[in-house]
Chain A
Amino acid sequence: MSDALEVILRLLAVLVAFLVLPLVVGQTEHKVMAHMQGRLGPMYAGGFHGWAQLVADGVKFAQKEDVVPADADRKIFQLAPAVALLPYLLVLIAIPIGPGGLVGQDIDAGLFFVLAVMGVGVLGSLMAGWASANKFSLLGGLRSAAQLMSYELPMLLAAASVAMAAGTLSLPGIVDAYAWWWTPWQLIGAVVFFTAGLAELQRPPFDMPVADSEIIFGAYTEYTGMRFALFLLAEYAGIVVLCGLTTVLFLGGWHGPWSDSLGWLWTLLKTAALAFVVIWLRVTYPRLREDQLQRFAWTVLIPLALTQIALTGVVKVVIS
């Protein structure tokens, strides 16, 4: 029975990480944005540095009425937040944070699993956009779909380059095979992967699907209360997953001084640093226009990703 117990414990740990880490990212975003943009609002609640802002947000969301528009397709409208959020929980299971099996579940084709399941999340946005019976929501849903289709390809190509370099699709296997010179070798791939991932999460500067100055809040316009909070949570969970994946694939995961005992700390630190970059980009860059967004994916990211694959192949053949 100890096997079953171990599986349950691992899944519980993943669930706890899933419930805690996105909130930490959310709180950090409040504070970092407040500092970078001189915002006073998030600095008041609770006294010191506005520590209670997140609690206040949670209470506010829980109090709000859960409205379903009269013309909406009720079932799909209500199901959409779960479809948007759950894939990220599944992905977290496969991300290793330390050596020696410190991972929810070691999946043989882990890289494929992670990318496949992450792509499912956009179905939530599409369902929300269509079922809301609102033209802004529909436009937001359309933009989400178009964005996913153009950015999925460079992301897959960049990930394929890492798989070629490591000779395995297993995420712990990739980290095991890592050496320090991988980071410069796979640098282009890392940038492409991170950028395409940002676009897939619809984070600024790629947040055209939820552009508030044009289409209110895209697919999520009609949502209120807890369902809206779930969509926001999905975005933050997505940041955790993207940063964790970039760490594992390109930055060597748990590798660092004393990695035997402190490996998990290195993974978390690298993930946190990347999450900070995600927030930083949101504060600094203006939003890309829809046509710029598409052109960027097809004329910049895909050629770069193909270059990286060629480079990986050549180096791999030369050193073997």
Chain B
Amino acid sequence: MNVAAAHPGFLSPTGVEIVFVLVGVATLAAAVVSVTTKQLVHAALWLVVALGGVAVEYLLLTAEFIAWVQVLIYVGSVVVLVLFGLMLTKAPIGRSPDADSGNRIAALAVAVAAAGTLVWVVVDAFRSTWIDVDGAPQGSTKVTGEILFRHWVLPFEALSVLLLAALVGAIVLSRKQSRQQPGER
């Protein structure tokens, strides 16, 4: 396959590319608001916008299956869990005076370093790879499934063992507490 011959340029962006950049900017903005806002529940809701934006980016890259998994797991479950936790503990309407952490500078440094590394790696790895958005979808369920279970089975299984360990750990922790309680009374 001759990559250079069919190489689209940066100077004549297609509609999909423009939308991709715009959604990316909106996602980044939502993420920044989510970590800087002083209202805890608003932070969680801006996180919904940011995660939804990432799902739209996956869709634009024709990775349909990944996009819906992103919505199902992150928007549908993780954020609901976060909101549940916030409601159970302390989530006043309005500003939370103690929402600021003293580690802001360190956190910013780590975030910038991580973002820089990821952007560099991704740009370096996919510099000359272009997705044909008009052709057959390259991120359909069939393709994703075949790649996942032929080329990436070992990481997949390792991850599932990790999750199983976390699950067992959660059960052990919660049982321990309930066993101590009758003794304390």
Per the bound structure, the CA–CA distance linking A119 and B80 in Å amounts to: 9
Say yes or no: is A68 at the interface (Cβ < 8 Å to chain B): no
Binary CB contact string for chain B from 30 to 42 against chain A (1 if under 8 A, 0 otherwise):
0000000000011
Binary CB contact string for chain B from 69 to 103 against chain A (1 if under 8 A, 0 otherwise):
10110011101110110111001011000000000
Stretch at the interface among A125-133, A207-215, A245-253, A287-295: A125-133
Are B45's CB and A76's CB within 8 A?
yes
Are A149's CB and B41's CB within 8 A?
no
Are B141's CB and A109's CB within 8 A?
yes
Say yes or no: is A122 at the interface (Cβ < 8 Å to chain B): yes
Are A73's CB and B87's CB within 8 A?
no
Are B80's CB and A133's CB within 8 A?
no
Binary CB contact string for chain A from 57 to 91 against chain B (1 if under 8 A, 0 otherwise):
00000000000000111001000000000000000
Tell me the residues in window 119-137 of chain B with beta carbons closer than 8 Å to chain A beta carbons.
137
Per the bound structure, the CA–CA distance linking A149 and B64 in Å amounts to: 24
Please name all residues of chain B whose beta carbon is closer than 8 Å to the beta carbon of A142 when the two chains form the complex: 84, 87-88
Please name all residues of chain A whose beta carbon is closer than 8 Å to the beta carbon of B77 when the two chains form the complex: 119, 149, 152
Per the bound structure, the CA–CA distance linking A117 and B43 in Å amounts to: 21
Given A108-B141, A109-B68, A149-B81, are A116 and B76 neighbors across the interface (CB < 8 Å)? Answer: yes
Say yes or no: is A146 at the interface (Cβ < 8 Å to chain B): yes
The tally of residues in A whose CB lies under 8 Å from a CB in B reads 32
Per the bound structure, the CA–CA distance linking A127 and B93 in Å amounts to: 12
Are B72's CB and A146's CB within 8 A?
no
Say yes or no: is B48 at the interface (Cβ < 8 Å to chain A): yes
Say yes or no: is B20 at the interface (Cβ < 8 Å to chain A): no
Per the bound structure, the CA–CA distance linking A76 and B140 in Å amounts to: 35
Are A116's CB and B80's CB within 8 A?
no
Please name all residues of chain B whose beta carbon is closer than 8 Å to the beta carbon of A119 when the two chains form the complex: 71-72, 75-77, 80
Given A120-B76, A142-B88, A152-B77, are A71 and B93 neighbors across the interface (CB < 8 Å)? Answer: yes
Say yes or no: is A226 at the interface (Cβ < 8 Å to chain B): no
A68 to chain B, nearest CB (A): 12
Chain A, residue nearest B84 (CB): A145
Please name all residues of chain A whose beta carbon is closer than 8 Å to the beta carbon of B41 when the two chains form the complex: 73, 76, 130
Per the bound structure, the CA–CA distance linking A120 and B74 in Å amounts to: 10
Per the bound structure, the CA–CA distance linking A16 and B40 in Å amounts to: 38
B17 to chain A, nearest CB (A): 20
Please name all residues of chain A whose beta carbon is closer than 8 Å to the beta carbon of B81 when the two chains form the complex: 145, 149
A114 to chain B, nearest CB (A): 9
Chain B, residue nearest A75 (CB): B42
Please name all residues of chain A whose beta carbon is closer than 8 Å to the beta carbon of B88 when the two chains form the complex: 142
Pairs of residues from A and B, 6 with the lowest C-beta to C-beta distance, nearest first: A119-B76, A116-B72, A116-B71, A112-B68, A145-B84, A109-B65
Write 17 A-B pairs (CB below 8 A) sorted by A numbering: A71-B93, A112-B141, A116-B69, A119-B72, A119-B77, A120-B76, A122-B76, A123-B79, A126-B80, A126-B84, A126-B87, A138-B87, A141-B87, A142-B87, A145-B80, A145-B84, A146-B84
Task: Give the interface of A toward B (CB within 8 A).
Answer: 71-73, 76, 107-109, 112-113, 115-117, 119-120, 122-123, 126-127, 129-131, 133, 138, 141-142, 145-146, 148-149, 152, 168-169
